[in-house]
Amino acid sequence: MQNSLSTSANAAASSEQGTAFRVLGAISFSHLLNDMIQSLILAIYPILKGGFNLSFAQIGLITLTYQITASLLQPLVGLYTDKKPQPYSLPVGMGFTLCGLLLLSVAPNFGTLLVAAALVGTGSSIFHPESSRVARMASGGRHGLAQSLFQVGGNLGSSLGPLLAAAIIVPFGQPSIAWFSLAALVAIAVLVKVGGWYKAHHLGARGKGGRKVIHHLTNKQVSFSIGILLLLIFSKYFYMASIGSYFTFYLMHKFNLTVQGAQVHLFVFLFAVAAGTVIGGPVGDRIGRKYVIWASILGVAPFTLILPYANLFWTGVLTAIIGVILASAFSAILVYAQELIPGKVGMVSGLFFGFAFGMGGIGAAVLGMLADRTSIEFVYQVCAFLPLIGLLTAFLPNLEQPAKQ
The identity of residue 201, as a single letter, is: H
pLDDT of residue 16: 41
Instruction: Tell me the CATH number at 111.
Output: 1.20.1250.20
Longest dimension (CA), the chain: 60
Could you tell me which residues come within 8 angstroms of residue 218 by beta carbon, excluding any fewer than 6 positions away? none
Q: Percentages helix, strand, coil for the chain, rounded to the nearest 5?
A: 85, 0, 15
Residue at 401 is within a domain: no
Cα separation of 49 and 46, whole Å?
A: 5
Residue at 405 is within a domain: no
Residue at 184 is within a domain: yes
pLDDT of residue 5: 45
> 3-state class of 227 per DSSP?
helix
pLDDT of residue 37: 86
Residue at 404 is within a domain: no
Could you tell me which residues come within 8 angstroms of residue 29 by beta carbon, excluding any fewer than 6 positions away? 153, 190
Does residue 262 contact residue 319 with C-beta atoms inside 8 Å?
no
Residue at 172 is within a domain: yes
The identity of residue 173, as a single letter, is: G
Does residue 98 contact residue 185 with C-beta atoms inside 8 Å?
yes
How far is CA 145 from each of CA 142, 148, 277, 283, 300, rounded to the nearest angstrom?
6, 5, 10, 8, 22
pLDDT of residue 182: 92
Cα separation of 190 and 181, whole Å?
A: 14
Residue at 400 is within a domain: no
Report CA Rg, the chain. Answer: 20
Residue at 142 is within a domain: yes
pLDDT 10s per residue in the chain (405 long)? 445 444 444 433 433 446 678 888 999 999 999 888 887 877 788 788 888 888 888 888 887 888 778 777 888 888 888 788 788 889 999 999 999 989 988 989 999 999 999 998 899 888 888 888 888 888 877 777 888 888 788 878 877 877 888 788 878 888 888 899 899 999 999 999 998 888 887 444 444 444 444 567 888 999 999 999 999 999 988 898 888 788 989 999 999 998 888 888 888 888 888 788 777 777 777 777 788 888 888 889 999 999 999 999 999 999 999 988 988 888 888 888 888 888 787 788 888 877 877 787 788 888 888 988 999 899 999 999 999 998 898 899 887 644 444
- Phi, psi dihedrals of residue 142, rounded to the nearest 5°: -90, 70
- Domains identified in the chain, total number: 1
pLDDT of residue 118: 92
Does residue 176 contact residue 47 with C-beta atoms inside 8 Å?
no
Shortest CA distance to 52 belongs to which of 114, 94, 101?
A: 114
Shortest CA distance to 137 belongs to which of 34, 197, 61, 207?
A: 207
Does residue 252 contact residue 259 with C-beta atoms inside 8 Å?
yes
Residue at 179 is within a domain: yes
Cα separation of 216 and 267, whole Å?
A: 43
> What range does the domain containing 234 cover?
2-395
Cα separation of 39 and 344, whole Å?
A: 29
Cα separation of 350 and 356, whole Å?
A: 10
pLDDT of residue 250: 92
Does residue 95 contact residue 46 with C-beta atoms inside 8 Å?
no
